[in-house]
Amino acid sequence: MSGVGETPVPGISALRPRFSVDAAIQPGEGGAPEVRLDYRLARTELLFERGPSGYRAAYEVRVIFSKSKRGRQELGDLFQRELKVATYGDTRIMGQDVVDHVAFAVPPGKYFVEVAITDLVAERISGTSFEFTVPAQPAGQLWFTDLSLGTSSWPTAAGADMRSRLDPNPSRRYGDDVSELAVYGELVDARPSAAPDERYKIEYRVENGFAEVLFRADTTIVRAGTRTPVPGRS
């Protein structure tokens, strides 16, 4: 998916349309774990074409799960998306990136995941790949999902769920100008004996590449049913 001589950073494409993608384990609709792939790309990575009622861009996301690099496809799918804006200026707005996700029910195992995005207007494709392990069904009925990383978009509209308050950063790269790092996860407690107002104490810390602790804190949350959102900021 990349050009000759190029070695893309896992989760970050090397060619246009440039995008980043991150994977996390979360509970699906039926409660069983599923793989959620969050991706992000700037609007300027897509070519918009002018039409009678404004400007339009379209792209396709292709995801392939295989057991090894260039191995047989185990599962995957194609997803098409379309963007429509009124003016040319709307196609160039900085800071309003295209952010979306797709989810898969994937059997436990180790996978080589390939993600490609095709600009259907410009007819160009870029992709990246990474290894990802889907664990077996968590032992017991109390477990913690993977964390989705990003920055905080607090405050949001009244009634917005906690996940929508996270502005995802699939690349997991942050500059010095980031004022606040944010994460989102869920505590899954399906124990029949769990009290409706069960309280959980969660401790967390942020380390740099030298294992130095940059931030440490703890919080207490109250059970909100089988799935309790656990947002965090630092």
Question: pLDDT digit string (tens) for 153-195?
Answer: 655 544 456 777 788 899 888 777 766 778 888 888 988 888 9
Question: Residue 2: what pLDDT?
Answer: 35
Give φ, ψ of 131 to 5 degrees: -95, 145
The structure's pTM equals 0.82
Low-confidence ranges of the chain (pLDDT < 70): 1-10, 31, 137-140, 153-161, 178-179, 233-234
Give φ, ψ of 43 to 5 degrees: -60, -35
Could you give the CA distance from residue 119 to residue 87 in angstroms, rounded to a whole number? Answer: 20
Domains in the chain, ordered, with CATH?
1-137 (2.60.40.10), 139-234 (no CATH)
- CA–CA distance from 153 to each of 161, 164, 174 (Å)? 12, 8, 15
